Structure 1
C-alpha cells in the first residue's frame, strides 16, 4: 500500500470525524463528485457543494458523521496517471459500505479528493431525499 496515500486518507477521515468543515472544504477538489450506488443499480451523484452543505448543516446542528473510525479498514491503494485510489470498507449498522476514494497527485504529493465512489446495500432514503429536493413545492 502507498503509505503517503494512506496517511492523506487518515487526514481526511480525521477531519470528517472532527467536523472540521474548513479542512474538508480544502481537501475536496472544486470538481469533486460523490457517486453512490446500491445493489438495485440506483445511482446518485452529489457535488462538492451538496456534500459541503450537508457537513455544514450537521455541524451547525451540533451533530457529527460518526463517533469513531474503529469500524473502518483501508484495504488497498492503487496509483495511476496522477491519481491514486484507496479502497475503504466501513460497517454501518452491521452492513458493510465500500468506498473508492480517488485523490489527485501533484508535485509528488496528494492534494485533493476528486471522486468518491460509494457502494451501499440500499440508497432508497438518499434517492427519496434528492427527489424531494428537486420536486417543485
Structure 2
C-alpha cells in the first residue's frame, strides 16, 4: 500500500468535507472525469466543471457533502508509470460504494486527480438530474 497515495486521498476527502472549493479546484486535473456505473449497467460521466459547479452550489447553500470519513477503507493502491490508483470502499446511507481513483504523479509527488470510477447501486436519480440540466427542465 502506497502510504503517500493514501495520504493524498485523505487530503482530497478532507477538502471535500470542509467544502474547500479552492483546494478541490487545484486537486482536480483540468481533464478530470468521474465515471459512475450502477448495478443495472447505467453509466454517467461527470466533468471537473460539473463537479466544481456542484461543490460551489452546495457551499453557497451552506450544505456539505458528508459529516466524516470514518467509514472509508483503502483496499489497494497501485502505481503505473506516472499514475497511481487507489481502490476505496465506503458505506453511504447504508449502501456500500466502491471507488477507483487515478492520480497523476509529477516530480515524485501525487498532484492531481485524473479519474474517479464510482460503482453504486443505482444512479437513476443522477441520470434524471443530468437529463433535466441538459433539457433545462426541473
Paired residues, number: 137
The corresponding residue for 2:130 is 130
User: Aligned Cα RMSD in Å?
Assistant: 0.8
Deviation >3 Å, runs of 4+: none
| Shift of residue 136, structure 1, vs aligned partner | 5.0
Stretches of structure 2 lacking an aligned partner (at least 5 in a row)? none
Distance 1:136 1:7, change over 3 A: closer
Stretches of structure 1 lacking an aligned partner (at least 5 in a row)? none
Normalised TM-score (structure 1): 0.98
The corresponding residue for 2:97 is 97
Q: Distance in 1 between matches of 2:51 and 2:110?
A: 20
The corresponding residue for 2:36 is 36
Q: Deviations over 1:58-78 (max 9, x none)?
A: 000000000011111111101
Residue pairs, 1:1-137, within 5 angstroms? 1-136=1-136
Q: Distance in 2 between matches of 1:81 and 1:113?
A: 15
